[in-house]
């Protein structure tokens, strides 16, 4: 999906373009070639300059964890519960004694590191998945088996029926790389920016190490329009202000110059009094 927004007014030029919901599989063996198409958003029929172009990409690990069976153990928890025999049938056993055990199976889960490589012109950027290490535990239920009928040292050696109650658990131990990762706010070099301004499209290539999903990308651009429309607006604006301020100032200078000429004539025409003879 291609989404975007932009504006080019009063000489300013800026906008943002999204490649949303891509869901594209990428690996080192299966690279992906894509592009941003800004031809419908840039004033291609006019003169303009792009001053800054920034890109961001988001990825997700494929989450294919590899499992390997680990050791299996049976542990006596030390928990013992004694019950009185409620059965009416005759038995020499004084009751039932339950011995609790835990049967644990370990599973090792691993997932290799994923490295996304983004190439745009001569610009190459990298992003890696984050390491995840944790241990979880899941119960698989209980089983009961009869061990036999014999004396119980914990009950004055009385004869009791002994049972082993075993709880089975699985313990996944995870150690690998997982989750979302990203290349954020990378400024492209001048050659790529000029090529984008000339063609209106920006090509990119995704590769790297391992397998991952290309989720989404964003491109932001800034610049300004230098075409005839802006020049005409600028010329009109200059003429307007010149007309507004230039004429009164010019008229004032002209009026002052005429006053100075009149004063000079008055001084010239003034009669000089005759000198008296002594």
Query: For the segment 159-205, what is each residue's pLDDT rounded down to a tens digit?
Result: 999 999 999 999 999 999 989 999 999 999 999 999 999 999 999 99
Neighbours of 101 (CB within 10 A): 17
For residue 210, being part of any structural domain is answered with yes
% of the chain with per-residue pLDDT over 70: 75
pTM: 0.64
194 and 137 co-located in one domain? no
Is 252 domain-assigned? no
Q: What's the chain's average pLDDT?
A: 81
27 and 103 within one domain: no
Is residue 41 in some structural domain?
yes
Question: From CA 152, how far away is CA 83, in angstroms rounded?
Answer: 12
Domain identity same for 90 and 157: yes
Q: What is the 3-state secondary structure (H, E, C) of the chain?
A: CEEEEEECCCCEEEEEEEECCCCEEEECCCCEEEEEECCCCCCCCCCEEEEEEEEEEEEEECCCCEEEEEEEEEEEEEEEEEEECCCCCCCCCCEEEEEEEEEEEEEEEEECCCEEEEEECCEEEEEECEEEEEECCEEEEEEEEEEEEEEEHHHCCEEEEEEEEEEEEEEEEEEEEECEEEEEEEECCHHHHHHHHHHCEEEEEEEEECEEEEEEEEEEEEEEECCHHHHHHHHHHHHHHHHHHHHHHHHHHHHHHHHHHHHHHHHHHCCCCCCCCC
C-alpha atoms less than 13 angstroms from C-alpha of 238 in its C-beta half-sphere = 6
Structural domains of the chain, count: 2
Name the residue among 88, 56, 33 with its Cα closest to residue 203. 33
Q: Are residues 100 and 184 in the same domain?
A: no
214-259 confidence digits (pLDDT tens): 999 999 999 999 855 444 444 334 433 333 334 343 333 333 334 4
Residue 91 lies inside a defined structural domain of this protein: yes
Band (6; pLDDT cuts 50, 70, 90)? low
Is residue 166 located within the same domain as residue 98?
yes
If asked whether residues 70 and 158 sit together in one domain, one would say: yes
Q: Tell whether 193 is covered by a domain.
A: yes
Confidence of residue 84 (pLDDT cuts 50, 70, 90): confident
Question: Per the domain annotation, does 123 fall within a domain?
Answer: no
Cα separation, 48 vs 221, whole angstroms: 12
- 11 has a pLDDT exceeding 70: yes
Q: Are residues 79 and 170 in the same domain?
A: yes
Render pLDDT for 115-143 as a digit per residue (tens, 0 to 9).
999 999 999 999 999 999 999 999 999 99
Is residue 235 one of the residues assigned to a domain?
A: no
Domain range for 13: 2-64+178-228
């Amino acid at each position: 999906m291609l989404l975007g927004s932009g504006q080019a007014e009063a000489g300013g030029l800026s906008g943002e373009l999204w490649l949303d919901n891509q869901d594209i599989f990428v690996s080192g063996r299966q690279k992906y070639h894509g592009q941003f198409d800004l031809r419908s958003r840039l004033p291609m029929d006019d003169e303009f300059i792009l001053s800054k172009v920034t890109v961001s990409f988001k990825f997700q690990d494929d989450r294919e964890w590899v499992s390997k069976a680990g050791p299996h153990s049976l542990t006596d928890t030390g928990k013992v519960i004694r019950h009185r025999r409620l059965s009416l049938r005759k038995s020499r056993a004084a009751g039932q004694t339950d011995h609790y055990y835990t049967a644990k199976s370990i599973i090792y889960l691993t997932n290799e590191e994923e490295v996304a490589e983004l190439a745009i012109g001569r610009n190459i950027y990298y992003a890696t998945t984050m390491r995840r290490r944790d241990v979880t535990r899941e119960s698989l239920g209980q089983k009961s088996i009869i061990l036999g009928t014999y004396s119980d040292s914990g009950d004055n050696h009385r004869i009791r029926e002994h049972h082993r109650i075993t709880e089975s658990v699985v313990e996944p131990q995870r150690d690998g790389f997982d989750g979302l990762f990203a290349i954020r706010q990378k400024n492209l070099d001048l050659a790529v920016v000029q090529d984008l301004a000339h063609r209106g499209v920006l090509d990119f290539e995704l590769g790297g190490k391992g397998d991952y999903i290309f989720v989404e990308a964003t491109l932001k651009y800034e610049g300004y329009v230098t075409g005839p429309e802006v020049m005409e607006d600028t010329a009109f604006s200059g003429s307007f202000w010149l007309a507004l301020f230039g004429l009164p100032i010019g008229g004032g200078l002209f009026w002052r110059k005429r006053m100075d000429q009149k004063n000079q004539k008055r001084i010239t025409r003034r009669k000089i009094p005759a000198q008296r003879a002594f």
